[in-house]
Chain A
Amino acid sequence: MEFAWTEEETAYREQVRTLVDDRYPGWRDKPVHHSFARSERNQVTELTHELRDRKLLTAHWPAEYGGADQSAWMHIILGEEMWSVGEPRGPQYMSVNWIGPAIMANGTEEQKQEHLGRISDGEAFWCQGFSEPDSGSDLASLKCRAVPDGDEYIVNGQKIWTSHTQLAEWCFLLVRTDPDAEPHKGISVLLVSMDTPGIEVRSIANVAGESSFAEVFFTDVRVPAANRLGPENGGWDIVRAALTYERVGAPRWHRGSVVLDALVVWAKEHDRFDDPIVQSRLGEAKAAIEAARMLAYRVVDERAHKVPPSPNAYVARVSMVRAEKQVAELALWLMGEQGIDGESLAGHTFYPTLTAGVAGGTYEVQLNLVAGLVLQLPRR
């Protein structure tokens, strides 16, 4: 047990910082004012190509798939440094974080050839087709149906709350392939090209502002059976592993930390910093952020040690959601009426954070998982 960065990790962090300072000198000035998920395609690829050229984008991937055989920490260091300057890489986060690794672990040679190179080149844009109108927290009840037809599946159904559809070229789609099996034993994963005929996307206006999400309708969509990831009806295990990656994929604790730094600057400029109530609440939020950071790091450490995903990911997620909301609440409380301005620091923090306990699995589902898997409490 030790909590120091290795020389390799420190050097990697330095390379990322150098890239930002060389290429995007203005980014450090107003880091939390960037709208993370509304990026244009060329904004994203300009950065991801730069990262690729400096071998920073998928450093934690195996060399055979375009990585540098470095540890899982590199992905988190990259995320921390990039989030702290408000990077626009949102729509490509999932591909590097968990879609690529899921394809590495479960894909055919053809699937790896088709997708992994594009992801590690910073070219690929994905969305995840998970939630449905009647299957939110109870994801395993999903109904979007895929029926085999020759060497294809015919997909019919609906997905909802799908982020990043505006740029997505591919969808990591969960479908029901066996309606008679137990819910989680009849699910498969299909990798679906978003320009396949029969797919319709309708965007949904969103109070949180940060991420634009959509409904996606599938009507007689023909997907080659060769695009199935892993065995038929074996999708649940794949998605469960992927979700534990997703839960600590984006270093949201680091954004919280950056917001706190910015709030201190604001408080000093507005003669509020000497107020002990303000200082007390800043200290409280900072402690919560650091606790979340440690619990998230513990999960990354498991990944770096290549041990199978554990329930510690749910523990980390609970802590992260709590800390992030604490920071957001502090931002609006401290700035008061001045935080009402949508372009203010609080404006860019409070509403986007509302989604933190819902997106990627609700806070309450994480608590259920901690209660059952960690505390071994009896089933309800």
Chain B
Amino acid sequence: MDFTLDQDQQGIVDAVTTILTRHAGTERARAVGAAGHDDTLLSTLADAGFLDLAADPAIGPLGAVLVAELASRHHARANVAIRALVGPMLLGDETPARLAVMDASRPGPVRFGQHADVALILDGDEAHLARITDATPIDSPYGYPFAHIETSRTRSLGPGSGATLANWWRVALAAEISGALDGAIAHTVAYLRDRQQFKKPLGSLQALQHRLAEAYVTAEGARWLARRAAFEGAPAESAAAAAAYAAQAAQLIGTDMHQLSGAIGFTIEFDLQLWTSRLHALRVEFGGVTAHQLATTRAQWPS
């Protein structure tokens, strides 16, 4: 058990942060737009090898989780978590650059559906690989591009691959949520440190301090559950618990940070919404908190 980053992990964090600072962040996110796709960012991360860490035996999924967290923290306009974490665990070196995931039993739109060439489709016990032939984008205020997709030429990845997809999808969601929580909380803390009312910083009021502290504790829990699940290889109970905890945290914190930021928080110019809009999308994906809780229980205590 060791909670400090080793040299490789620290190297990943430093290098990926450098790339994201240059090729992502609030300005770039605004320039690309919520419905857009950042090909440059994706190819920069891919060329540097940071999307293929999960299947690299020297690094493994824990390294990929760090990439997913950071990409979400920096508003990456590309499906980094799915590409870095889910793809390699099912497809190894064959993972296509622009990948989306969907659940055949859910009619909802697919995140990054219009910007992906290939979809991993969960169909009961099996995962299928499918070429996306058509995508109908929808308007959404939830910070990501969404589309209904048509697919052809599906290929099954074999019995049991469905569970692998579901588990890594949940870990990816938890990592993305944890990165966005980190950003939303840090932004709110910084704002309340400065914002003066009643002749003092709002952040000096205990009622607000306690809510920020609780949010922080929750976000830390989400972060370490996601990391542990990745380290363990995404067993169903760890992956589902990480997703359940993160989805619940996203709901609570994604609304509470707005409450704490006041009216300015609702404006487009205020960066908070770049994280919170995505938190609400992530927390309903793949069935949302209740589905993850049920999955936790069914994996932990089989009937």
Contact = CB atoms under 8 A, between A and B. Distances in A.
Interface of A: 1-5, 9, 73, 261, 264, 268, 273-274, 276, 279-284, 286-288, 290-292, 294-295, 297-298, 300-302, 304-305, 315, 318-319, 322, 364, 366-368, 370-372, 374-380
B193 interface: yes
Secondary structure at chain B's binding surface: helix, strand, loop or mixed? Answer: helix
Interface string B234-249: 0001101110110010
Given A315-B216, A380-B204, A380-B205, A284 B224 contact: no
A377 B293 contact: no
B4 interface: yes
Contact of A287 (B213, B231, B244, B298): B244
Given A1-B3, A288-B245, 5 more contacts: A281-B293, A291-B245, A294-B224, A298-B3, A379-B204
B62 interface: yes
B245 to A, nearest CB: 4
B206 interface: yes
Contacts of B116: none
Contact of B193 (A9, A367, A377): A377
Contacts of B261: none
B9 to A, nearest CB: 6
A364 B245 CA distance: 22
22 contacts: A1-B5, A2-B1, A2-B6, A279-B297, A283-B293, A283-B297, A286-B296, A288-B245, A291-B221, A297-B1, A298-B3, A298-B224, A301-B1, A318-B217, A367-B214, A368-B209, A375-B209, A375-B216, A376-B193, A377-B192, A377-B203, A377-B204
A286 B297 CA distance: 8
Interface in B82-122: none
Interface in B183-228: 189, 192-193, 200-201, 203-206, 209-210, 212-214, 216-218, 220-222, 224-225, 227-228
B140 interface: no
B241 A1 contact: no
Contact of B213 (A279, A298, A318): A318
Interface of B: 1-6, 9, 62, 189, 192-193, 200-201, 203-206, 209-210, 212-214, 216-218, 220-222, 224-225, 227-228, 231-232, 237-238, 240-242, 244-245, 248, 289-290, 292-298, 300-301, 303
A378 B194 CA distance: 9
| 9 tightest Cβ-Cβ pairs between the two chains A and B | A291-B221, A283-B293, A283-B296, A371-B209, A294-B224, A370-B213, A287-B245, A378-B204, A287-B241
B18 to A, nearest CB: 20
Contacts of B189: 375-377
B166 to A, nearest CB: 15
Secondary structure at chain A's binding surface: helix, strand, loop or mixed? Answer: helix
Contact of B231 (A3, A364, A380): A3
Nearest to A273: B303
Contact of B241 (A261, A290, A372): A290
Of listed A1, A279, A302, A322, residue having the most chain B CB within 10 A? A1
A283 B62 contact: no
Contacts of A376: 189, 193
Nearest to A380: B204
Nearest to B210: A367
B224 A4 contact: no
Nearest to A312: B220
A291 B203 contact: no
Contacts of A315: 216-217, 220
A280 B301 CA distance: 12
A300 B241 CA distance: 22
Contacts of B224: 291, 294-295, 298
Nearest to A366: B213
B303 A374 contact: no
Contacts of B221: 288, 291-292, 294-295, 319
Nearest to A4: B1
Given A2-B231, A3-B231, A294-B228, A368 B206 contact: yes
Nearest to B242: A287
A286 B231 contact: no
A274 to B, nearest CB: 8
Of listed B204, B221, B237, B298, residue having the most chain A CB within 10 A? B221
A375 B297 contact: no
B193 A280 contact: no
A378 B294 contact: no
B217 A287 contact: no
A333 B238 CA distance: 25
A141 B126 CA distance: 64
A379 B232 CA distance: 41
A272 B231 CA distance: 34
B272 to A, nearest CB: 16
Contacts of B241: 283, 286-287, 290
Of listed A2, A5, A264, A287, residue having the most chain B CB within 10 A? A287
A291 B222 contact: yes
Contacts of A1: 2-6, 9, 62, 227, 231
B213 A280 contact: no
Contacts of B220: 295, 315, 319
Nearest to B204: A378
A367 B209 CA distance: 8
Contacts of A372: 209
A314 to B, nearest CB: 9
A322 B214 CA distance: 10
A280 B296 CA distance: 8
B216 A283 contact: no
A307 to B, nearest CB: 9
Nearest to B301: A264
A358 to B, nearest CB: 16
B29 to A, nearest CB: 25
B213 A371 contact: yes
Of listed B62, B204, B289, B293, residue having the most chain A CB within 10 A? B293
